């Protein structure tokens, strides 16, 4: 059983459309992160959220941490082909000393 | 700074062989970890270390050993390779920033066990 469930697992949309990726859990996390991974490379950190209800924006990407700190979402506005990649959420529980990852969302943006 | 480096980039082993995956970081991070990535399963933690001389098991430690004699290096040893260990392996180092652990990943080692 995955501690962090991401949905959808695959998403293919046209350039210019909007999309949202979800990361859900029944556990409470002290922090939650989003990474992007391109083929043949390691994941790269996009953002960290630590406060329930927190919203962070990174250009066309908006990240939200749920009020109860059990879930998070990533919203992309006007998607571009350069947004194509594997998006991973990862959470750290209080005092756990380790990150747990969701299974990832493979996003394809078609020109 | 080179960041996190991993060698080799690709490796093919026969069942029963042993090998060591190397990982080094030059950012003076205390925390290092090893993950494996399999299709549809995200990243699963194998072992981690919170500092030199200290290691602990993650979710999937069986068949792997680690040691941490220096802050910079964190090698992963496969004792007797099995086909189930075919995977992509990532090493990461991290530090705490604003109450969260921010991880930097190496480029990965793609391992095939036949």
Rg of chain A on CA atoms, in Å: 13
Residues of B in contact with A41 (CB under 8 A): 107-108
Compute how many other C-beta atoms are within 10 angstroms of the C-beta atom of residue B72: 16
Scanning every residue of chain B, which has its alpha carbon at the shortest distance from the alpha carbon of A97?
A: B50
Compute how many other C-beta atoms are within 10 angstroms of the C-beta atom of residue B105: 23
- Give the 3-state secondary structure of residue B88: strand
Give the gap in angstroms from C-alpha A53 to the nearest C-alpha of chain B. Answer: 16
Q: What is the pLDDT of residues B44-59, one digit of tens each?
A: 999 999 999 999 999 9
Task: Pick A9's closest partner by Cβ from B40, B99, B102.
Answer: B40
Residue A81, class by beta-carbon neighbours within 10 Å (0-12 exposed, 13-18 middle, 19+ buried)? exposed
Q: What is the pLDDT of residues B30-87, one digit of tens each?
A: 999 999 999 877 899 999 999 999 999 999 999 999 999 999 999 999 999 999 999 9
Q: Which residue has the tokens 């496969």?
A: B78
pLDDT tier, A60 (very low <50, low <70, confident <90, very high otherwise): very high
Q: Are B55 and B73 in contact (CB under 8 A)?
A: no
Residue A40, class by beta-carbon neighbours within 10 Å (0-12 exposed, 13-18 middle, 19+ buried)? exposed
- Chain A from 56 to 85: CB within 8 A of any B CB: none
HSE-up (13 A, CA, CB side) for residue B61:
12
Asked if residue A41 has pLDDT above 70, the reply is yes
pLDDT at A1: 59
Q: Are B81 and B17 in contact (CB under 8 A)?
A: yes
Residues of B in contact with A72 (CB under 8 A): none
Please judge whether B101 and A92 are an interchain contact, meaning their C-beta atoms are less than 8 angstroms apart: yes
Determine contact: A24 vs chain B, CB below 8 A. Answer: no
Please judge whether B40 and A98 are an interchain contact, meaning their C-beta atoms are less than 8 angstroms apart: no
Q: What is the pLDDT of residues B93-113, one digit of tens each?
A: 998 877 788 899 999 999 999
Compute how many other C-beta atoms are within 10 angstroms of the C-beta atom of residue A27: 12
Strands A105-110, A10-14: pairing kind:
parallel
Q: Which two tokens stand for residue A81?
A: 């082909």
Give the gap in angstroms from C-alpha B103 to the nearest C-alpha of chain A. Answer: 7
Q: What is the pLDDT averaged over residues A52-68?
A: 96
Give the gap in angstroms from C-alpha A26 to the nearest C-alpha of chain B. Answer: 18
Strand-pair partners of B65: B77
A with B: how many residue pairs have Cβ under 8 Å apart?
Answer: 67
* Alpha helix (H) residue ranges in A29-80: none
Please judge whether A42 and B43 are an interchain contact, meaning their C-beta atoms are less than 8 angstroms apart: no
- Lowest mean pLDDT across A23-37, A56-70, B6-20, B97-111: B97-111
Compute how many other C-beta atoms are within 10 angstroms of the C-beta atom of residue A97: 12
Q: Are B7 and B109 in contact (CB under 8 A)?
A: yes
């Amino acid at each position: 059983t995955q501690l962090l469930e991401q949905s959808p697992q695959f998403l293919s949309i046209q350039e210019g459309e909007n999309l949202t990726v979800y990361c859900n859990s029944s556990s409470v996390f002290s922090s939650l992160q989003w990474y992007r991974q391109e083929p043949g490379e390691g994941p790269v950190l996009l953002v960290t959220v630590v406060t329930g209800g927190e919203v962070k924006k990174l250009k066309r990407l908006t990240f939200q941490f749920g009020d109860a700190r059990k879930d998070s979402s990533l919203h992309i506005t006007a998607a571009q082909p350069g947004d194509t990649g594997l998006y991973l959420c990862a959470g750290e529980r209080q005092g756990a000393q380790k990150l747990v990852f969701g299974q990832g969302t493979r996003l394809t943006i078609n020109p | 700074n080179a960041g996190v480096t991993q060698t080799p980039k690709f490796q093919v082993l026969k069942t029963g062989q042993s090998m060591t995956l190397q990982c080094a970081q030059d950012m003076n991070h205390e925390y290092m970890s090893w993950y494996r990535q399999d299709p549809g399963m995200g990243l699963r933690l194998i072992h981690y270390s919170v500092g030199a001389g200290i290691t602990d098991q993650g979710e999937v430690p069986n068949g792997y050993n680690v040691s941490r004699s220096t802050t910079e290096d964190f090698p992963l040893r496969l004792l007797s390779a099995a086909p189930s260990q075919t995977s992509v392996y990532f090493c990461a180092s991290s530090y705490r920033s604003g109450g969260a652990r921010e991880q930097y990943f190496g480029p990965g080692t793609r391992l095939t066990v036949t």
